[in-house]
C-alpha cells in the first residue's frame, strides 16, 4: 500500500473515491461541502436514517459528473458522542470507523482513495475529551494500521489465492500544511506497524508442518539480511543448549523429531555506545499436543497458535526495522514442538534449568513456562533495561479476562505502568494481575525446588509466579496472551496482538 499526504480540499483532489465522515446526526465539513454541491445527497442518508449511528457504518454514494473530480464517495459514521460530552469522539469508535472504511475500500474496484481526516479535528469535535488521549499523529497512524491489516489475507497453502484488491494508493488530505507535514511520519510508522502485525498473523496462521522451529530460525536470518545491517540473527541448537544447561527447554523439545531452537535477534537502531537493550522473549511452541499429558483432540488444531508469543516478537522486530526506530532491542524466541514420544518427558520427571533450579514436571502440558524459564535466564547476559516475555501460556487467563485484554504480571510497577499506557495508546489493552507471594507456595514440590504447575486456583497467576523465579536480576513483565492471540470459530486466525502494544512501549521508553 502506498501512503501519501497532500494539502488539498474535498473539491479539488482527483481521486477514485473520497472518504468523508459524519458524527452522530451531523455531516462533518468535507461531507457538508459535498452535500451542498450535490443537492443534499449526503444529508438525505441521515434524514432518512439510512446511515446508522453505530461507529463504522458506511454508505457509498455515486455523484454525477461535473462538480467534483470523482464520482464515488464513502460516507463513514464516527458514532455517538462520549456520554455526557456532546462533542467528544470516542477513540474506539475511530478505530471501528477506520476498520470499516478500510474493509470497504478493499472490497471495492477503486484503485486509489483520498481520506479527509481534517473533519475529525474541526471545532465541532472536542477530541481532547475522548476516553483516551488522541492527536493527529495517533489518528493518522491508526488509519494506516487499519488499512494494512484489512489487506491481509492468508493464502500460502491455498491452491487458488484470493485476488488482490484493486486499491494501491491512499492519500491523506488536509487543508492544513502543518498537519500534512507531521502526518508523513505517522503514516510511515503506522504502515510499518501494520506490516509487523500482519507478519505475526501470518506466522500464527501457517500450518505447523511449515512453521517449525527451523522455519523461524531461517526467518530471523532473512529479516536480518533485509535490515541494512541493523539486525543480527543467530540461533542455538540443542547441543549448544545442552552445554548451557537448558534442561527445562530441552525437556519439552526432546519428544519431537523437529529440533528445538533458541533464536536470538539483536536490533541496534541507536548509535549510543554500549546502550543496554530492552529484551523481548517469545514463547514459540510451534505445535503443542500437551506431550504425555495429551490434550483432547477437539480443537487441538488451534495449538499451532501456541507460538503466537514468538510471532509477536518477530512482528515487533519487523516493525522496528521498517520504521528505522532508534531503539536497542534483543529478541529471544524459544522455539520447540511439544510432542508425545518414547523419549518425551513424563509426569514426575525432575529436570534442572539453566539457572540451576530444579523442576518437577507434574504436567507436560505446562510446557510454555519450561521453555521460557531458560530463555529468561539466558536474557541476563544482555544486562537488560527491561525484559518482557510474551506467551499463550494458560487457559486460566482466558477464563479470567476473556478475549479483550492480555494479562500483565510484573516485578516492577513503573514497567507495568508503561506497558499499560502503551496498550491503551495502541488500542491493544492489557490488564494487570496480582503477583503476590501468597500464590508462590502453590508451586511447592517434595522432590524438586518447584513444580511446574500450581493446581486449579489462579492458574494464570501461578504460571507467572513460576516465571518470576527466573527473572529476579532485572525488571521483568509477563504478558499472557492466550485469550487475545487468535480468534476461534468462523473468524479463526491469529490477531497479531500484542505487536502494537510492544512497539508502542519500545518507542516510548
Strands 278-288 and 328-338: parallel
Give alpha helix (H) positions in 245-343: 247-253, 308-322
CB 259 within 8 A of CB 252: no
Active-site residue among 58, 179, 304, 369? 369
Burial 159-174 (b: 16+ CB within 10 A, else e): eeeeeebebeebbbbb
Please give the Cα distance from 505 to 406 (Å, whole number): 15
Cell 455531516 belongs to residue: 27
Is 369 tagged catalytic? yes
Grid coordinates representing 160?
487458488
Active-site residue among 295, 346, 385, 473? 295
Report helix, strand and coil shares of the chain as percent, to nearest 5. 40, 20, 40
CB 267 within 8 A of CB 331: yes
Number of C-alpha atoms within 13 angstroms, CB side, residue 26?
A: 13
Is 469 tagged catalytic? no
Minimal CA–CA distance to 195: which of 477, 496, 465, 413? Answer: 496
Sign of CA dihedral 11, 13, 18, 24: negative
- Specify the DSSP class assigned to residue 215: H
CB 310 within 8 A of CB 188: no
Residues annotated as catalytic (active site), given as ranges: 295, 369
Amino acid at each position: 500500500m502506498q501512503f501519501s499526504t497532500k494539502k488539498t480540499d474535498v473539491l479539488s483532489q482527483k481521486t477514485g473515491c473520497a472518504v468523508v465522515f459524519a458524527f452522530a446526526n451531523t455531516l462533518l465539513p468535507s461531507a457538508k461541502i459535498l452535500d451542498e454541491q450535490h443537492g443534499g445527497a449526503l444529508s438525505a442518508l441521515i434524514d432518512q436514517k439510512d446511515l446508522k449511528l453505530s461507529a463504522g457504518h458506511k454508505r457509498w454514494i455515486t455523484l454525477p459528473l461535473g462538480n467534483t473530480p470523482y464520482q464515488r464517495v464513502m460516507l463513514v459514521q464516527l458514532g455517538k458522542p462520549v456520554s455526557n460530552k456532546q462533542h467528544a469522539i470516542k477513540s474506539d469508535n475511530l478505530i471501528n470507523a477506520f476498520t470499516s472504511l478500510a474493509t470497504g475500500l478493499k472490497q471495492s474496484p477503486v484503485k486509489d482513495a483520498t481520506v479527509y481526516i481534517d473533519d475529525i479535528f474541526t471545532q465541532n469535535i472536542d477530541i481532547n475529551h475522548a476516553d483516551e488521549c488522541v492527536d493527529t499523529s495517533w489518528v493518522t497512524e491508526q488509519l494506516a494500521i487499519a488499512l494494512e491489516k484489512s489487506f491481509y489475507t492468508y493464502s500460502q497453502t491455498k491452491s487458488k489465492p484470493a485476488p488482490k484488491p484493486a486499491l494501491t494508493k491512499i492519500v491523506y488530505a488536509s487543508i492544513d500544511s502543518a498537519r500534512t507535514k507531521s502526518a508523513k511520519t505517522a503514516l510511515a510508522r503506522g504502515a510499518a506497524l501494520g506490516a509487523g502485525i500482519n507478519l505475526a498473523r501470518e506466522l500464527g496462521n501457517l500450518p505447523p508442518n511449515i512453521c517449525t522451529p527451523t522455519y523461524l530460525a531461517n526467518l530471523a536470518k532473512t529479516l536480518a539480511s533485509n535490515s541494512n545491517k541493523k539486525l543480527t540473527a543467530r540461533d542455538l541448537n540443542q547441543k549448544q543448549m545442552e552445554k548451557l544447561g537448558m534442561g527445562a527447554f530441552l525437556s519439552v523439545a526432546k519428544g519431537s523429531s523437529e529440533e528445538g531452537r533458541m533464536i536470538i535477534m539483536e536490533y541496534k537502531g541507536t548509535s549510543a555506545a554500549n546502550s543496554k537493550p530492552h529484551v523481548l522473549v517469545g514463547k514459540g511452541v510451534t505445535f503443542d499436543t500437551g506431550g504425555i499429558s495429551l490434550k483432547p483432540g477437539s480443537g487441538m488444531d488451534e495449538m499451532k497458535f501456541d507460538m503466537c508469543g514468538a510471532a509477536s516478537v518477530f512482528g515487533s522486530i519487523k516493525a522496528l526495522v521498517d520504521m528505522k526506530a532508534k531503539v536497542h532491542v534483543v529478541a529471544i524466541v524459544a522455539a520447540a514442538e511439544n510432542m508425545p514420544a518414547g523419549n518425551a518427558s513424563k509426569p514426575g520427571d525432575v529436570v534442572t534449568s539453566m539457572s540451576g533450579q530444579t523442576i518437577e514436571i507434574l504436567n507436560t502440558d505446562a510446557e510454555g513456562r519450561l521453555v521460557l524459564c531458560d530463555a529468561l535466564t539466558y536474557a541476563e547476559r544482555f544486562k537488560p533495561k527491561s525484559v518482557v516475555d510474551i506467551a499463550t501460556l494458560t487457559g486460566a487467563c482466558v477464563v479470567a479476562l476473556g478475549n479483550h485484554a492480555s494479562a500483565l504480571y510484573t516485578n516492577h510497577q513503573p514497567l507495568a505502568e508503561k506497558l499499560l499506557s502503551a496498550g491503551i495508546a495502541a488500542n491493544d489493552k492489557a490488564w494487570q494481575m496480582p503477583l503476590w507471594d501468597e500464590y508462590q507456595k502453590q508451586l511447592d514440590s517434595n522432590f524438586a525446588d518447584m513444580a511446574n504447575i500450581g493446581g486449579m486456583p489462579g492458574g494464570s497467576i501461578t504460571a507467572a509466579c513460576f516465571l518470576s523465579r527466573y527473572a529476579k536480576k532485572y525488571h521483568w513483565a509477563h504478558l499472557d496472551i492466550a485469550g487475545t492471540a487468535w480468534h476461534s470459530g468462523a473468524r479463526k486466525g491469529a490477531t497479531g496482538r500484542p505487536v502494537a502494544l510492544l512497539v508502542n512501549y519500545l518507542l516510548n521508553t
